[in-house]
Amino acid sequence: MTHTIDISSIKSITDSCLYYDYITNYDIDYHDKYTFELVNWYKDVVFLNNFKVGNDLDIIKEIDKSVYTYLYDTKYRREFKKNIDIYNFSGCSSNIVIKKIINFNKHYENKLYFYINNSKWL
């Protein structure tokens, strides 16, 4: 399938997606279907939607940050997988998945502020 991309929006998208290169070049484990689906969904959302206005760019920044955190933070990944089903990426509307990811990210960040990591001193 061929996709057309609005060239004028590429600059704003690449400026907004600070982690795009990290996400698209991430070395995904062959057996990790969930991560593979998430990264492919991310690529589609970033380039197939025309995010031009401020609010839309804020949404894309939030998705970018969330997917990056998923890839590089194991606690976040574990919680993410528990809360967002893999079938959402292909079966649901992108808007529904975007809302779920943004809500999860906000909830996780709020939870993170209250989490205190205890360490033992010897």
The Cα diameter of the chain in Å comes to 61
Please count the structural domains in the chain.
1
Average pLDDT of the chain is 81
pLDDT score of 98: 87
Hey, what amino acid is at 46? V
pLDDT score of 1: 54
pLDDT score of 67: 95
Element (H, E) at 119: none
Q: Tell me which residue range forms the domain holding 58.
A: 10-113
CA dist., res. 84 & res. 74, Å (int): 15
Residue 106: inside a domain = yes
Question: pLDDT (tens digit, 9 = 90+) per residue, 18-65?
Answer: 998 899 899 999 899 999 999 998 988 887 766 666 677 788 889 999
Residue 122: inside a domain = no
Residue 119: inside a domain = no
